[in-house]
Each structure stands twice: as structure tokens, then as C-alpha cells.
Chains A and B, each alone.
Chain A
Amino acid sequence: MFERMQLLVCGGESCEQKQIGAIKDALLVELKKHDCENEIAITQSSCFGLCEKGAIVGVFPDEVYYQCKTKSEIVMIVEKHIKNNQIVEELRIKDPILHKRLKEHSNFHVFNKQNRIVLRNCGIINPLSIEEYIARDGYFALAKALKEYTSEEVIEIVKKSKLRGRGGGGFPTGLKWEYAKNSQSDIKYVVCNADEGDPGAFMDRAVLEGDPHSILEAMAICGYAIGAQQGYIYVRAEYPVAVERLERAIEDAKNLNLLGDNLFGTDFSFEIELRLGSGAFVCGEETALIASIEGFRGMPKLKPPFPAESGLWGKPTNVNNVETFANIPVIILKGADWFNTIGTEKSSGTKVFALGGKIKNTGLIEIPMGTTLRDVVFDIGGGIPNRKKIKAIQTGGPSGGCIIEKDLDTPIDFDTLTDLGSMMGSGGMIVMDEDNCMVDVARFYLEFTVEESCGKCTPCREGTKRMYDILNKISEGKGTLEDIDHLEVLASMVAETSLCGLGQTAPNPVLSTLKHFRDEYLAHVNDHYCPAGVCRELTNYIIDDTCVGCTKCATNCPVGAIIGWPKAIHKLDMSLCIRCGACKQACPVGSIKTVKGGEAHV
């Protein structure tokens, strides 16, 4: 049975935090009130890419997106739009760049510079409906591959498309498939790496939750190309919605014989099973992932042998990331030449990034390779809030590095980012402004790798910990110049001798901040001063004479360290101050400043 209307409720991480669950419940209550809960379907979709706008509800087929916060707004949407088909103009979301309400969602300026290939169906179809996926040409690519192409031709198309692995390494996908195909074995496996673990990244989750069938279809195509009959999706257990939808999708596909035996009447058969990971970052590394599927402790193995020769249970195995797979059906349908028109010479296609940090519009963006960082930050992201200056962009999560303002005009692709000392990674992109302390940033990412190192090889296990210790010392003002030397030696040692990619890239946040922001490190060490005012032990505050006496700082101070009468300049007692920074945030005129340790005065 088909519903009259469909409400897509955003289920992205950001919207989830804004209590989208409560909004869903409220919608249901309202629909019931109007006795139309059977006519209207409510579906939780994946991220719409407009996170800053708050909880978003899309009404289909009208393609209208509302932003709602309160119950009365929900009442209004249900009453007007759903009952009476009147669009509630005042609740429609505004274009974050043009600040106008636009009729067509796709005309949004935010999307102008974007090109949705991977996210083509996300937020548009009901992910639980295989029919809707098929209606958007779903499984056509599999049919085309099976009916029109030989397995060699499929690989040729993927090779020609120059698609590169989106999991971070950027290895040419077609070549990887070819290796797996050329390995002689009667049993081979296709594995989808859906163990997305970078802090703040949720690209794969969006695809898994918003368009699960595209992954199944691509895996079947891959299976056909390399000669595998069994696929595994290794997905994090922390993505329960993704797991549920994948399970449902597999079941639906089997029922329609889009997975199973003799697909499309050919003699090609393909099955897919799920394997749940239990939250180890290192299991995103393909050999560790394979060990984990086999039931062993998730620890990487030396390569060679590569999984294409000897992978899962010793059989040739092709491991690709979710986003890589999501590109495959489109490439098969539209051809390699079409794909090559998008992106740059060496990196074709698009890349999804999770844009976050000090930026106006956060969320998932999908941009063609070759887009400049400046376009991303200012045209898509809407720039830095509060008239602050951009300091750096961190890409690649804990494996990546920082890119500074002067490099913003670099077109983004795999190689340029590596040249800048960062990396594509899986697609985290954090924008930082002058309030970010780069020592603290390095420390944050390193803390993550220290926690997530598997402990197998010495440099990563011990080296990252000692680097973290040194960064702690520096941020506490106990660091010495010798410590910075140690840090550099350790960083290059860990990078060049670690066993797997996790260790080899773990020092990147340190190396790139040391390269671009050495003066900040030196300020911490020599002057015992944190210029950004982040490192507590090194921050003192003063209230200068621009204070207007609004008392906001005093009210916000948790320890009563600020005294002063209304409309008189306030005073700060540093002996009581715990350096939480609440006053500085509260001050409407910027009178509270951070100073070097010695300069504080009452």
C-alpha cells in the first residue's frame, strides 16, 4: 500500500542531538489527531546536509523542507500542509548563503557548488523501500553489468573511471578489483568497509542509512567483476539504524531475487551478510577488519600479502569503503567518460565531507574533486561565525593535518592534500578559527590515536603515548625546547616505521601543526602562554577598560572571581579564577582578554 505523502525526518547526527526523536513522536500524535496516520509515512532519513538549520522535516512529493523547533510549528505543518496542502512559507528553511526562502530545494546556493553522486538518493527516497530505489534506476546498473558486460569489461570501466578508494588511501579501485580478479581461487570475497570511526565523520553512515541498496548493488557488481559469490559488510555496531536498514535491504533484495542465486537469469549468484564491529578504530584498516570478521582480535597484518591475494580466510578478498561502492552503480550506468568529466585529472568524481567546526553551515557536503577549500568554507560553509578569522582547516581526522589560510585556494584532491601535509582521509573537515589552540588540537587528535592504537607495533603503541605525554607537558607549561625536539624525532619515527596506516599517519596532526604553528608551540614553551587562551594552565585573563559594566561576566563566573558594580569597570581576582573562560564568552564587548602568565593583574 502506498501513502499519500511522505515525511522525511532528518536522522543525521546533528539533528539527532536536536531531539529529532521527540519531533517524530509529536508528528505522529498530530497525524493521529487528524486521523491520517495511515495516509502519511514518516521515515527517518540520513543527513540533508543542512545541519545548522536544526531539525528538518521534508514533505514529499512536494519537496518542501521545514525547519521546526516547537510543537506549535508541528501543529501548523500538519494542519496546513498535510491536511490542506498549503505550504507553510514561514517555516520553510532558508538558503544559508542567500538568506532567502527558495522554492526548489536543489536551487539552494549551498548545493550550487555541490554535486550529489554518492548522496544522490539520500534524503530523497525512503531508504526502507526497495521500490523507491528501483524507481531511481536502482539495480539497473547490476542488470546492465550482468547482461551487457563481461567481468573484464566491468573492471575496464571502473579502471577508466579513475575512481579512487574513498576510505582514505586513494588507491585506484579498478586496479584493486583487477588484482582480486587475477588471483586464482574458487572462493573469493567482497567486503564493504563500513567501520567509519573518525571522530566527527558520518559520510558512510549517511549512505548506509539513506541509500542502503546502492551498497548492495555495488557489491554484487564487484562480486561479478572479481568472481566472488559472497559479500560481507563490516559495519559498526554503533550504527544501529544502519544495521537495521541494511538487514531490511538485504532481505528485500533477496525477495526480489536481486541478491541470491542466478541474478537476472544469469548464472551469477551473490549473497551478502553483515558483520558487526565493536568500535575499534583500527578495524577500519583492511587487514585488521578481515581479522575481526574472522573472529580474531582486530590487529593489522603486514602487507604483502595483500587481501587481493590472501584475505578473508586466506582467500582473495576485495575490500572497498562504503563511499567507493556508492559510486559504482552510477559509473556503470552513466559510463566512465561521464564520471571523468567530474573532478580533476587524477582524481575524478566527487568526495563527501563532514564539514564541522567553526563554520556557519555544518553537515555533509559532496563536492567535485578540484573544488577549492575557499569555496567549501565560504560558498558552502557560509564562512566563519562571529566575524572571526579562519586559522586552519583540519582534514582527514586523526590521520590528517592542518591546512592554513594561505593554502585555501588549493583545489582539493588526493594528491594536493597529501602535498600539503594533510590527507583526504575518509572525509572529516574541521574548520578552526583564532580561538583554537593548535597544541590543543594536536593533543586532541593524538589522544584519539593513543586510545585507538591496537598495540601491536612498538612505534604506534609506545610512540604516540610519549608524544601525547609531551604535548600534555607543553600545554601545562612544563615543556622545554628539548621536548619539541623529542616530539619531532618521535613523530617522524612513528610515521616512518609503524606497521599500518594508523600509526604511519598518526603523527600528522603533530607534524603539520609544528610546521605551520611552531610559534604557538614556542609561546607555550618559552613564554608559558597559550595565545588562543585554550590551555588552562597557561591562560590568565584581564578585563580591560573597555568594560561597559554589564555584569554578565560576573553572573557567569562559577567561582565568584569577578567583582564590580553595574556600569563600572569590573575586576577579576586571578587567585580565585579557575580559567574556565566563561566570562570571556559572556562578554558582549570583548573586554576580557587572555594574557601571558606574568601579565595578569587584579
Chain B
Amino acid sequence: MSKLVEVTINDKTYNIPEGHSILRACEENGIIIPRLCFLDSIHEDGNCRLCSVEVDQQHNLKPACKTIVRDGMNVVTENKRIYDYVSTNLELLASNHHFECFKCSREDNCEFLDLLRRYSILNEYSDLYGYELKQTQLNNSSDAMVIDSSKCVLCGRCVSACEKYTGIGVLDFNKRGNKTYVGPAQFRGLEDAGCIYCGKCIQACPTGALREQDDIKVFERAVRDPSKTVIVQVAPSIRASLGEEFGYPVGTNVEGKMFAALHLLGVDEMIDTNFAADLTIVEEGSEFLDRVQNDGVLPMFTSCSPGWVNYLELYYPELIPNLSSCKSPQQMAGAIIKTYYAERLQVDSKDVVSVSIMPCVAKKAEAKREDMGRDGYQDVDIVLTTRELARLIKRRGIDFKNIQPMEPFGDLATYTGAASIFGVTGGVMEAALRTVSEMLDSEAKLIEFKEVRGKENMKEATYHLAGKDINIAVVHGGVAIKEFLEMLKTTDKEYHFVEFMGCIGGCINGGGQPIVKAKDFERIDVIKERSKVLYTMDSKSILRKSHLNPAVQKLYSDYLNKLNQHDLHNLLHTHYKARTAYSEYIE
């Protein structure tokens, strides 16, 4: 218990733990202070100035977010002067904001809009009243993300998030003063700026200035096209987070309602990416065994996270041989949909629209990679993020809370517990270990590999399998990835298998997941709550090893085993190539 200090806030005395900021002290005591730029431990620059409060009757106002309480401090958070200043400040921000809320990706949870409403902003410095608007920049040339400076309030949260989560620092401020805008240096297109599309900036943004490439319209057209068969796959972690968009507490499993909503949206077939996750484990497990037994390149790196694949291709291309050649579950599912499944449904592959619901922004770019299709079509046509799916459901007026849950039909929606945990850091490794350990050593009965679970950003373990020590590691988040790969250059330790994920916590905290407002971000351990859903699903499963999935076994016996080696490889495996950013500047 830390020491308490006595602070007077709005003429009332409170005992506040020492070291708290005024903002925290107030929020914990139900006093609302407007805030826009503060994002706990990520962005604490105090630059939006909306949380300005009077401290000890000093002339200049102080930012509540960064002013630490002191014994005997007298704070005023609400009076006419403060109200006027906050209003004026918001008026100024509003005057340069491009209001198109009806189509904005943040139509329902815009932190900026909340403030404008709370302060009854009149927008009196807008161009309507003869003021000059600033020039805006639209960076939308990449397949995954859009930066739209017309909606940016320059809070700087994305810049800090990019730096602190990925350690790359793709985003920064360009120009200065009133002309400042956020983007890659020289407002380079994101595809050539070293961005890995992790989407942490999107999640940090209080407005819709940063967003995924919106594919809702394409989807809406596809489901209404009678000549097309729309087949949807849903990633493991969507069911753990989608509910948040509809008012469910963080960590609610809404699997049934999710499938029911998709059905109401008009899709023709539903499969589960979890199924493809099981398939991935079988392929990846075999690849790993092959590498171990035939002196292949080790350690082998997992390849399910496209953010991580982007990172490796951009920053450590020399390690590409370590990367598993397996496609990610999304792409394996896509390939199976367009071939095996289309055949079974007796439709032409070209008439199948393959849609995936992903917690990830990078998946949008992954689906457009060159070797992710054949005969002139792509395996995945439309990638929607969790947020886009939620938006779609809301815009259609579907009463999510009150729909009857349903199960997806078809055997490609069968999955094991191992697949469920794909969405959380350590999950891919744990799933792989379950299968590999049994392949290597039929005696091994281990199911839960707890060493690879948890929030630590670098986890290591050694398992003794078939007379051999297998050293594994689990790494997530750009900063840890860099640290690990740098360490790998110097260490003597021999690693065999490493799981990497571009996002801290894995897919459950992916860049396409519902956005948690800055205020909730401090209170709720989002990663932990969402992970729990997946681990619970796993522990409740009867089948917990991927290779035991009967549908996977059936797929191999009915289809995959009949393909020649080359076709099979093309279907489920891929290639990587070294990439650079700002190439013309690098000699």
C-alpha cells in the first residue's frame, strides 16, 4: 500500500496514493476530465492540452495527465475558465477536421466525437466562417492501411505506438506548426515505408485518421451477386473479441452469434479458419520434423503472422531460409476453398468469392501476395477485420445481442483445441508441440505446454523429445522480435523452433481487433481477457491435437494425398523475398 497524500479537488478532499497523476486521481474518484492524447505508458506527452486543470491557483493551467499529486495540492477541474479553454481547444481541432462520420471507421467509438458532443462544439472556426483549412494528405496506396490526415487531431498516439510496439518508428510528424501531419517520412506510401501493417497505430488512434482499407462495399456487392458463391472463413480470435463491439464485456465468447450474424449477412457457406489452423500444424509439424531429421535450416520460424513475415522480409531478409514455407491458416483455408471445397460444391473456382474475417490488417496485404492464388484468381478475395465485420452487422441493423446462436455447417468448420489457441501468443508453438511431440515420440503425452503461455514478450523452453533436447522460443511484438533476432546473432544456444507474432499478445490483440478506448485500456487487461476465451475453448475441447482432427484427416485422404508433390506444395506452401523500403534512397 503506497503512501496517501491529501489533495483537494474541486473543494473536496481526497486521499490519493502518492505518485498518481491528477488525471488518474480524478478518474478513480469519478471526476471526469477530458482527455485525448494520453495513452497509458504509450503516449504521455501531454500535448493535447485538453486535460488542463488549475493547480494551486497558478496562472498557467497544468496538464492533469502528467502532473503528479502532491500533499496539500489544490486542484480545480471545472470552472468557466477551464470550460472555455477546453471548448476553444476543441473548436480549434474541429475546425480542421473532416467530418464524414456516416462513413467513418470510428462512427461508433470516436473519442474525439465524444468530446465534441460533450462540449457542444459549434465548429465556429471552420471554413464556413471564412477560416482557412489546412491542406490534407491521404496515404492510401497500400493494400492494408490508410492514413487520412483530414481526420487527424495530431495527438501523436500513433507515432508513439509505432515506436513503442514495433520499434520501427515508421510513423512520425512531418513538417511543422500548422502544417504538421503524421505519416512515414516524406509521406511515402506505406507499402514502401518499412511498415509491417501491424495496425498498432490504428488501435491507438482516437479518430478515424488511421484505418484499414475498407472492403465493406466490395463484400456487400459480392453477397448480392447471384452468380457468386460467397464462402467465409473466420479466424480463431474473432469470437473472443467481436462481442466488445456490441457491448459485451471484454473476454466474451460470441462464436454462435458470430456465425448467426454472418448467416444473416447473406454468405453462402461458412468454414472456420480454425480448421485451417489444424491443417497448418500438420504441414508445419512435418516440415519441422523434416528439418530436424534431414539437417535443414534451424531454428525454424513460424510463418502464420503476416506482420512478422513482413518484418523478416524487410529487416532480416538473411533469415528467410529459417522461415517455414507453410502458408498461414488464412491462405491455406483460401486455397482449400477455391479448390477442394469449390469442387465439392460443384462451382467454378472463379465464381467463388472467398472472404476471411481476420483480427489483422496485414492479412489484407497477405491475401494480395503474388503466389497466393492460381489460374488468375486469388485464394482470398476479401479480407474483413473484426471491426469491419462489426460495422457491417451494425449498418445492416442486425440485432446482434438478440440473435440465436448457430453452428456453422460443413465439415470444414471442425477444429481441435489446438487450433483455438492459434490466436494467442505461444498458441501456435503449443499446438505444434502437441503434434510434433507425438510424431517424434509416440510415448509423449504432454498436452499443455504452460511454459510458452503468458504475456512475457520472450519465452523459452526446452523439451526432451525422442532423445533430443528441443529448444524452443516464443516471441511477440516488434520490439521483442528485434531483440531476439539480434541476440540470435551472438548466442551460442541452439534453437530449434521459434514462434513469432507481429503483435504483442498475438492475434487476439491484432491490428484489426475492436478498438479499446484509451480510458478502458488502462483498466482492462485486454490481452489476458481475450486469451482466456481461447484457452477455455481449448481446455473444453475433446480433441486437442491438430492431427487428430477428422476433417483434416479426411482432407488428406480424399484430396491432398492424391495431388502430386508439386501441386500439394503450391497449394499449401509459399515463397518469401527480401524487400526494402525507400529503396531509391538506399545505395
Contact = CB atoms under 8 A, between A and B. Distances in A.
Interface of A: 280, 282, 297, 299, 301-302, 450-459, 461-466, 469, 473, 478, 486, 489-490, 493, 495-499, 504
Interface stretch (B173-181, B239-247, B341-349, B490-498): B173-181
B154 interface: yes
B49 A497 contact: yes
Nearest to A469: B131
Contacts of B180: 454-455, 461
B131 A462 contact: no
B392 interface: no
Interface string B160-187: 0000000000001101111110000000
B312 interface: no
Contacts of A461: 154, 177-178, 180
4 shortest interchain CB distances as A-B pairs: A455-B180, A462-B92, A453-B177, A465-B178
Nearest to B131: A469
Interface in B38-88: 45-50, 52, 59-61, 63, 66, 84-85, 88
A242 B173 CA distance: 31
Contacts of A469: 130-132
Contact of A504 (B52, B60, B63, B88): B60
B205 to A, nearest CB: 16
Given A496-B85, A497-B61, A297 B172 contact: yes
A546 B69 CA distance: 71
A449 to B, nearest CB: 8
Contacts of B50: 458
Contacts of A299: 173
B60 A496 contact: yes
A458 B175 contact: no
Contacts of A495: 60
A290 B92 CA distance: 29
B131 A466 contact: yes
Contacts of B60: 495-497, 504
17 contacts: A302-B66, A454-B180, A457-B47, A457-B48, A458-B48, A458-B92, A459-B49, A459-B92, A461-B180, A463-B92, A464-B177, A466-B95, A489-B88, A496-B60, A496-B85, A497-B61, A497-B89
B267 interface: no
A455 B49 contact: no
B177 A459 contact: no
B84 A280 contact: no
Contacts of A456: 45, 47, 156, 173
Given A297-B173, A302-B63, A455-B176, A466 B125 contact: yes
Interface of B: 45-50, 52, 59-61, 63, 66, 84-85, 88-89, 92-93, 95-96, 124-125, 130-132, 134, 153-154, 156, 172-173, 175-180
A450 B47 contact: no
Contacts of A463: 88-89, 92
Interface of B is mostly: loop
Given A457-B47, A486-B124, A499-B46, 6 more contacts: A454-B180, A455-B178, A462-B93, A463-B92, A490-B88, A493-B84
A493 B80 CA distance: 12
A320 B520 CA distance: 43
A302 B44 CA distance: 9
Contacts of B47: 456-458, 499
A331 to B, nearest CB: 32
A455 B93 contact: no
Contact of A496 (B48, B61, B93, B176): B61
Most chain B Cβ neighbours within 10 Å, of A454, A455, A469, A489: A455
A453 B84 contact: no
A486 B126 CA distance: 13
A296 to B, nearest CB: 9
Nearest to A465: B178
Contacts of A465: 132, 134, 177-178
B85 A453 contact: no
A461 B95 CA distance: 13
A504 B134 CA distance: 23
A458 B130 contact: no
A455 B45 contact: no
Nearest to B176: A455
B48 A493 contact: no
A364 to B, nearest CB: 30
A493 to B, nearest CB: 5
A104 to B, nearest CB: 49
B550 to A, nearest CB: 57
A255 to B, nearest CB: 38
A59 B176 CA distance: 47
Contacts of A455: 154, 173, 175-180
A493 B89 contact: yes
B85 A280 contact: no
A333 B125 CA distance: 57
Contact of A453 (B46, B132, B176): B176
Contacts of B131: 466, 469
Contact of B88 (A282, A457, A493): A493
A462 B132 CA distance: 11
Contacts of B49: 457-459, 497-499
Contacts of A466: 92, 95, 125, 131
B93 A458 contact: yes
A461 B93 CA distance: 10
Contacts of B61: 496-497
Contacts of B88: 463, 489-490, 493
A497 B178 contact: no
A486 B95 CA distance: 14
| B131, B177, B179, most chain A CB atoms within 10 A | B177
Contacts of A280: 176
Contacts of A459: 49, 89, 92
B173 A458 contact: no
Contacts of A493: 84-85, 88-89
A452 to B, nearest CB: 7
A21 to B, nearest CB: 33
Contact of A450 (B59, B95, B172, B177): B177
Nearest to B92: A462
A299 B47 CA distance: 11
A486 B131 CA distance: 13
B45 A301 contact: yes
Nearest to A451: B177
A492 B52 CA distance: 14
A498 B63 CA distance: 10
Contacts of A301: 45
Given A450-B178, A455-B176, A497 B85 contact: yes
Indicate the member of A451, A497, A498 with the most B CB atoms within 10 Å: A497
A418 B64 CA distance: 27
A463 B95 CA distance: 11
B45 A302 contact: yes
A486 to B, nearest CB: 8
A299 B52 CA distance: 20
A490 B131 CA distance: 14
